[in-house]
Structure 1
């Protein structure tokens, strides 16, 4: 098979991974910008390899989906848009109140997710850098709660603490919309504020008992055209919530 053919096969697997409920040939054709016959031919090759399967509703999906969705992406987006239409500002992500309410949903959801709880006592005995703990928690969250691809970018200083001027510890870049076949628009990005709330709750439940401090996770930038979302992780070590050395118990204020 040609190099281009291999690239198309990889793209099909990537799209099906991002859309665990499955996609029809028409959707794949539009996303891949190739002929319908070509899509079908590549799907047949992947099917013979045992990587994909065709369902009775004519959708194609990975043979072993990574993260099944209980609700289709476009339906989820419709719900988020509908909340804005019905509730106005309280569910409008262009309003501070709307952003915070979606984050509250995330904080509420977090304890109900099947995410393994880190052993706080063990982490205290063998303290790690904040970077290690944050990356570990984000890995758990990714496995439990989202299908988007993401990239972690540390903003910790060389000694392992948040930027003293901004308190920014890390940025997580999410690639693509909730489902690639139906690009996210406007209030559909409320999904990322829910993710921010989940992440904030998860990191707070781990970082604070070990190091003290206060955690805030915020959506920093939404690039609707490129379907990219940046989420920032902030850790505040101030007078009210100082840093606590896990070994000595000494409290340190960085402000």
Structure 2
């Protein structure tokens, strides 16, 4: 029993920080300028969500999960981490779930999201993920060549998805669609903490903000009929 107390978080990470940064650099070198297209699709999904086009916005999120699962987890991260293929299947499952939700959306166009606080929070979180991640790497992180990008790397993909889902979905459907993104954000933050990376708490902070906004919105909706 006492032996477990001697382990630290970094003991469970089977690679060094230098190897991880080199992995990000290799991905960026191999797939540039696919980054631009991926971010453009993410911004389109965000814009459509703001306009209330639930079906297409959800569908546009799916390719980012598919490419992150295949390109990042199966193709590269599997070289460093034995669990990467399991993560990859989780990302593919999320892509499939998003397509199913899009298929069974009530209509191709719904009333736009309310102009309340939750929509502002969701938009901010999504924009920080879509546009801010490369800037974080360039300014306070390991450098622009190691920047993580929506659609190719899992952390910004998960965070941006949570922002869009907060705008589009309510209740059980929101939590169902958000389960894998939330789980990955926890795994991603723990991994970055273990290698002492700048911005390691960003995915955890995004989860806390999105979850709090969703709970607050539910409480507000439940209280409204009694007003």
- Classify the TM-score, shorter chain: under 0.3
- Based on CA coordinates, which of the two structures has the bigger radius of gyration? 1
Q: Which has the higher strand share?
A: 1
TM-score by length of 2: 0.25
TM-score by length of 1: 0.23
